[in-house]
A and B are shown apart, each in its own frame.
Chain A
Amino acid sequence: MGLQRKKSHVLQTTKKIGELIMAYFSKASDAKAQGKPVAWITVFTPVELLHALDIYPIAPEHFGAMCSARGFILDYLEEAERGGYSENLCSYSRCSLGYVLSGMKGIMPSPDILITFRNSCDVYVKWWQSLHMHLGTPLFVGEAPYVLTLDDLDNYVLDYVVKQLEQLVEMAEEKFGLKFDMEKLVEIVKLSDKASELWLETLELRRFRPCPLGGRDSASDIFPLVVMQGTEEAVKFYEELLREVKEKVSREEGVIENERFRLLFDGIWLWHAFDLIKYFENKGAVFVYEPYSDAWAYRLDASKPLESIARKVLAMGLNVDIDLRIERFVESIKEFQIDGAVLFSNRSCKTWSTPQLVTADILNKNFNVPYLLFEADMADPRQYAEAQIKNRIDAFLEVLGES
């Protein structure tokens, strides 16, 4: 094992994503030059509303992932550490703080407004407040209560979030003299819904054997869903992606030629060690499901735009009860015929990593799905022990092969 290299492929559409990301970032500077406000957002902020207001959203989390993937994140992490921020803090937050401390000379233009919602991540608010302290830029903090049952998506909790969306609109109108246009929002909501529908349909096709879309595709292709939701470009991208994946399914063509193991990946990807996915693929293992990949896809109802967006703010990512998350895991085991789970315990993301063992035990005891848990950091390459992690992957796949 390990001596045979298997050919593995990323999709043609995925190959275009790098360019799309770069274009999106450079257009932010153009927008700013034309006097359009740029917002730094956390990734679970409802961008539909911002696009409707003509505010250009960019996500420092994306910037962190990109710097990590391209190998220059240490410039910013070390700048933050020189400024006194501890190495134990979230690496995305350290990257953006280091970027600010070093004078924001990169691809991400300085913000005119900082917007975050307290959903999913526990650090968001304090992180955005720190940026606010350094930059003095106006700050909007939205608050989304934790979703305990699906009823919360329809009761007073929803009204509470709608009210805050209205406050965000008021603040933007007042600060930047913008005029909110409900008709424009309706159109944007339709486009956002369409992109989510296309993406979800694409992910469903991973049920096929061999799996037509792998981890490297799913990790890259979510970018437009996060910041470009509500744009024609995003819809176009997902149409093209779906078309390509459907063709692969009809040709019975998989990510790898000889699919031996179908795996679930739980966590944020390791951007600095992205080739780890290929390492699995070379050994005949393909990722077919990740909770990360459908975290941003949410169907919207254009007849109730604000309620619909508020529901999305609530239901996104990790803002829902663990039981609801586990339900989805369990469904995936059956739907995607999963042989094993790979859990990445991420030093940066305590919210994601803390409940992982509980989930893993349920998968293991109830469904006999073996799992591998390893520790590293999503963006900080210094927290990664390559030889030891690969050693563990080898052992895990060998065990899967024998069972």
Chain B
Amino acid sequence: MYVGIDAGASATKAAIINKEREIVSYSIVPSGINFKISSEKALRKALETSHLSLKDILYTVSTGYGRALVNAKATSSEIICASRGVHKLFPSIRTIIDVGGQDSKAIRIDEDGRVLNFVMNDKCAAGTGRFLEVMSNILGKPISDLSILHFKSSKPVKISSTCTVFAESEVISHVSKGSEIEDVIAGLHQAIAERIYNMSSRIGFEKDVAFTGGVAKNQGFVDALSKKIGSNPILPEEPQIICALGAALAAIKKHKEPQPF
């Protein structure tokens, strides 16, 4: 068995695959502040689900923000892992938009899943899952409700600031002026969609387009981004584990190499 661990800023994901490159099991746990603990927890959970033990593992590759802190034989960047993971599931994909807890990225790949170009957000939470977390706290609505509320909105408000801190006061001012919560939420989704659209436009949206990362589980955001891009993206069944899957695929590749690099 081969394992990929994606130690992301907000969640740690583990994926186990067999030598036929099929997913055997996976798990998602919160990252907390210790990637070593969260990665062990994620791995244990994935092993339990599939009734496997540590000795069944031939090779582990880690990726994500905390990749260097995970007990793995090699590391790989999220860009490569996301590309490998998506290409395995959907070979027709040429553009990947991945929105995670701390960063967002757009990647162009070729027909073999090789990276042609990529862009990432800079040191700022705008356009990431963190932005939505902060806003959901202010609005007193759990993250899981954002999607339902989004689709209730009839006239989304305009959030003009791209800075999380400034957007926070904008949200407060909209609410105090009597805007409906659902319109504020839809407005926030639009604001992030716009930011990601602007960033990704640099490399273009060649079809097919896939959305991955934890934020792709928020249908309200997916709706906002799809409208902005003007096409319906392909969504993996579990968008959050794609990088972990890519890391597990890298583990197979590295296991075969005589000299790991």
Interface residues in chain A, defined as those with a beta carbon under 8 Å from any beta carbon in chain B: 1-4, 370, 374-375, 383-385, 387-388, 391-392, 394-395, 398-399, 401-403
Q: Which residues of A contact B114 (CB under 8 A)?
A: 399, 402-403
Q: How far in angstroms is the closest Cβ of chain B from A367? A: 15
- The answer to whether B123 touches A398, judged by C-beta atoms less than 8 angstroms apart, is no
User: With A370-B117, A388-B103 given, can you name 5 additional A-B contacts, CB distance below 8 Å?
Assistant: A1-B261, A374-B122, A385-B123, A395-B79, A398-B79
Give A395 to B68 CA distance when docked, in angstroms.
14
Tell me, yes or no, whether B78 is within 8 Å of chain A by CB.
yes
24 contacts between A and B (CB under 8 A): A1-B75, A1-B76, A1-B261, A2-B75, A3-B74, A3-B260, A374-B122, A375-B122, A375-B123, A383-B123, A385-B123, A387-B65, A388-B103, A388-B123, A391-B78, A392-B120, A394-B75, A394-B77, A395-B79, A395-B80, A395-B115, A401-B261, A402-B80, A402-B114
Whether B122 contacts A395 by the Cβ 8 Å rule is: no
Find A402's partner among B65, B75, B115 (CB 8 Å cutoff).
Answer: B115
> With A399-B115, A402-B115 as given contacts, are A391 and B75 in contact (CB-CB < 8 Å)?
no
* Complex contacts, A399 vs chain B, CB 8 Å: 79-80, 114-115, 118
Task: List residues of B whose CB falls within 8 A of some A CB.
Answer: 65, 68, 74-80, 103, 114-115, 117-118, 120, 122-123, 260-261
* B79 / chain A contacts, CB cutoff of 8 Å: 395, 398-399
Interface centre among B68, B77, B103, B115 (most CB of A within 10 A): B77
Residues in chain A near residue B76, CB distance under 8 A:
1, 398
Q: Are B74 and A388 in contact (CB under 8 A)?
A: no
Chain B residues within 8 Å of A387, by CB: 65
Residue of B nearest to A400 (CB): B115
Taking the nearest CB of chain A, how far is it from the CB of B135, in angstroms? Answer: 21
Q: Are the C-beta atoms of A4 and B261 separated by less than 8 Å?
A: yes
Set of chain B residues within 8 Å of A391, measured between Cβ atoms: 65, 77-78, 103, 120
Top 6 closest A-B pairs, CB basis? A385-B123, A395-B79, A395-B77, A394-B77, A399-B115, A375-B122
- For B68, the chain A residues whose CB sits under 8 A away are 2
Chain B residue at smallest Cβ distance from A399? B115
B88 to chain A, nearest CB (A): 16
A385 touches B75 (CB 8 A): no
| Bound CA span A350–B76, Å | 33
Say whether, besides A387-B65, A391-B65, A399-B115, A3 and B120 are in contact (CB < 8 Å). Answer: no
Report chain B residues within 8 Å CB of A1.
74-76, 261
Interchain nearest-CB distance for A361 vs B (Å)? 10
Bound CA–CA A395/B103 (angstroms):
14
**CA gap between A4 and B261 in the complex, in Å:** 8
Task: Give the one of A370, A388, A395, A403 with max B CB within 10 A.
Answer: A395
Q: Complex Cα distance A383/B123, Å? A: 8
Chain A residues near B117: list those with CB within 8 A.
370
What residues of A have a CB within 8 angstroms of the CB of B77 in the complex? 391, 394-395, 398
B contact residues around A392 at 8 Å (CB): 120
Contact yes or no, A395 B118, CB < 8 A: yes
Instruction: Tell me how far the C-beta of B190 lies from the nearest C-beta in chain A, rounded to whole angstroms.
Output: 24
A273 CB to closest chain B CB (Å) equals: 13
Closest B residue, CB atoms, query A2: B75
B260 to chain A: which residues have CB within 8 Å?
3
A167 smallest CB distance to B (angstroms): 44
B122 A385 Cβ-Cβ under 8 A = yes
B122 and A388 form a contact (CB under 8 A): yes
Rounded to whole angstroms, the CA-CA distance of A395 and B64 in the bound complex is: 11
Q: Report how far A394 CA is from B80 CA in the complex, Å.
A: 10
Which residue from chain A places its CB closest to the CB of B68 in the assembled complex?
A: A2
Minimum C-beta distance from B166 to chain A (A): 15
Q: How far is the CB of B4 from chain A (nearest CB, A)?
A: 15
Report the minimal beta-carbon distance from B107 to chain A, rounded to whole angstroms: 9
Residues of B close to A384: CB separation below 8 A: 123
Q: Is the CB of A388 within 8 A of B75?
A: no
C-alpha spacing A370/B203, complex, angstroms: 13
Give the docked Cα–Cα distance between A212 and B171 (Å).
56
Q: What's the least CB distance linking A364 to chain B, in Å?
A: 8
